[in-house]
């Protein structure tokens, strides 16, 4: 028997914990199925459409966070360059171009192998790190898609930090 064939009895569905955390934080959510929950979170730059899915076969809780920037065909190549640059800077998770809807999406998973249950803190950190990444780079995607800026300049612009005092 391989290690992957070992079956573990799970105490609860990890999406139940997401629902619990969302309810405790007064976040509006929609439970579209036993293994999926979706919510919209207001950010500084955009409203983020967040979904959590329990992927039983991988024992992973998957988070997908999308925002409404439609990528026209003429900007796809530069957006892919931007994705490459940004993903090299992101510690956990990654951005992707979801071609079916032509939108940018941030994806991250929490591995819960062996029957591990997610904690409130893990769920909150998973969500907050995804939202932080989206808030950090949202304007870079805007610059590339809407302003025609190249990827390197867009990243440099959003990562600009002021040093000292005026």
Q: Tell me the mean pLDDT in the region 67-80.
A: 92
Report how many domains make up the chain: 1
CATH for 123: 3.30.1460.10
**Is 165 inside any structural domain?**
no
**Is 6 inside any structural domain?**
no
**Is 51 inside any structural domain?**
yes
**Is 73 inside any structural domain?**
yes
Model pTM?
0.84
Question: For the purposes of burial, counting CB atoms within 10 Å of the CB of 100, is it exposed (0-12), middle (13-18) or buried (19 or more)?
Answer: exposed
**Is 164 inside any structural domain?**
no
The three-point CA angle 61-65-71 to 5° equals 140
**What's the rounded Cα separation, in Å, for the pair 158 and 140?**
6
**Is 166 inside any structural domain?**
no
Where does the pLDDT of residue 8 fall: very low under 50, low under 70, confident under 90, or very high at 90 and above? low
**Is 67 inside any structural domain?**
yes
Residue range of the domain that includes 75: 12-158
Any idea of the CA torsion for 93, 99, 43, 32, to the nearest 10 degrees? -90
Question: For the purposes of burial, counting CB atoms within 10 Å of the CB of 127, is it exposed (0-12), middle (13-18) or buried (19 or more)?
Answer: buried
Determine contact, residues 22/39, Cβ cutoff 8 Å: yes
Where does the pLDDT of residue 17 fall: very low under 50, low under 70, confident under 90, or very high at 90 and above? confident
Where does the pLDDT of residue 119 fall: very low under 50, low under 70, confident under 90, or very high at 90 and above? confident
**Is 121 inside any structural domain?**
yes
Bridge partners of 61, per DSSP, are 54, 110
Could you tell me which residues come within 8 angstroms of residue 46 by beta carbon, excluding any fewer than 6 positions away?
Answer: 67, 68, 69, 134, 138
């Amino acid at each position: 028997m391989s290690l992957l064939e070992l079956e573990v009895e799970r105490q609860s569905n990890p999406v139940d914990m997401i629902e619990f955390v969302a309810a405790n934080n007064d976040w509006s959510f929609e439970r579209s199925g036993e293994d999926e929950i979706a919510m919209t979170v207001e950010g500084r730059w955009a409203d983020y459409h967040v979904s959590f899915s329990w992927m039983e076969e991988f024992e992973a809780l998957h988070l997908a966070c999308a925002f409404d920037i439609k990528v026209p065909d003429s900007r796809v190549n530069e957006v892919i360059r931007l994705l490459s640059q940004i993903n090299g800077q992101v510690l956990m998770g990654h951005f992707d171009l979801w071609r079916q809807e032509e939108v940018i999406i941030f994806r991250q998973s929490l591995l819960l192998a062996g029957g591990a249950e997610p904690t409130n803190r893990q769920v909150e950190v998973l969500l907050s790190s995804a939202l932080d990444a989206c808030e950090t780079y949202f304007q870079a995607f805007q610059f590339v898609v809407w302003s025609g800026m190249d990827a390197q300049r867009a990243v440099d612009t959003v990562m600009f930090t002021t040093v000292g005092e005026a």
